[in-house]
Amino acid sequence: MTGAREAQLIEAANLLLDARREMSPIVDLPVELQPTTLDEAYAVQLIMAEAYGEIGGWKIGAPTPEATPMFGPMPRIWIRPSGVGLGAATHRYRGLEAEIAFLLGKDLPVRATPYTRDEVIAAIASCHPVIEELESALVDPGAAVKFSMVGDLQMHGGLVFGPAYADWRSIDFTHEHVTLSIDGVVRVEKTGSNTSGDFLRLLPYLANEGSARTGGLKAGQWITTGSWTGNIQGTSNSRVDVTFATAGSVGLRFE
């Protein structure tokens, strides 16, 4: 990447940051600043994440069981416990996704030998039901250039986690049932609906193929593994509840 192109990607990240901070979304980045490859979009992500401080974890997912996963950083300051209130001054888009996330208990530093699936699972401290709250610097992320949306932290706006479920290894996630409700009304109800299929495959991918970007995974970081419910829009002054039949419940409110 040339110095001139790097400067353009920094400018793109700053435009997206300003749009989020000022709650003044843009239709898209100027053409000359739009990322044109996945690597460029990931570079914009990391510039944006650095502006928010420490990285508290990574979101990762795949649209099909066969697809190559995509992942992005989650700022530590946006990771909060169930019951949190999210204010209108910082939450405009209010996208909602029910997910399963893992909290790491051990470091997985970069190394030459790939980590096995069992090694990565052994590093997990706990499993949690979560809501990924989606935000965007773009007026309509679906109408913008895809790499603009990916660069914009893949629409990440926050992670709200419920209590740990101790016996998570015994869950048959292909049959796990989930509901997402807004103000007590069920909006989505699905079973075994994570689009990645065997979503535990995402964890070794992040530890291995993703290590060049993550710099290695660290104890205390979260990994959230993709939506079970699609992207559901919330509203102001509403209560959101997600319930997994086995893994437990998590909620938030928009103020």
Predicted local distance difference test score (pLDDT) of residue 245: 98
* Per-residue pLDDT tens listing for the chain (255 residues): 789 999 999 999 999 999 999 999 999 999 999 999 999 999 999 999 999 999 999 999 999 999 999 999 999 999 999 999 999 999 999 999 999 999 999 999 999 999 999 999 999 999 999 999 999 999 999 999 999 999 999 999 999 999 999 999 999 999 999 999 999 999 999 999 999 999 999 999 999 999 999 999 999 999 999 999 999 999 999 999 999 999 999 999 999
Interatomic CA distance for residues 22 and 20, integer angstroms: 6
Predicted local distance difference test score (pLDDT) of residue 170: 97
Number of domains in the chain: 1
3-state helix, strand, coil in the chain (%, to 5): 30, 30, 40
Predicted local distance difference test score (pLDDT) of residue 2: 87
**CATH number, domain containing residue 97:** 3.90.850.10
Beta strand spans in the chain (E): 55-61, 70-75, 79-81, 85-86, 95-104, 124-134, 156-161, 177-182, 185-191, 222-224, 232-233, 238-244, 248-254
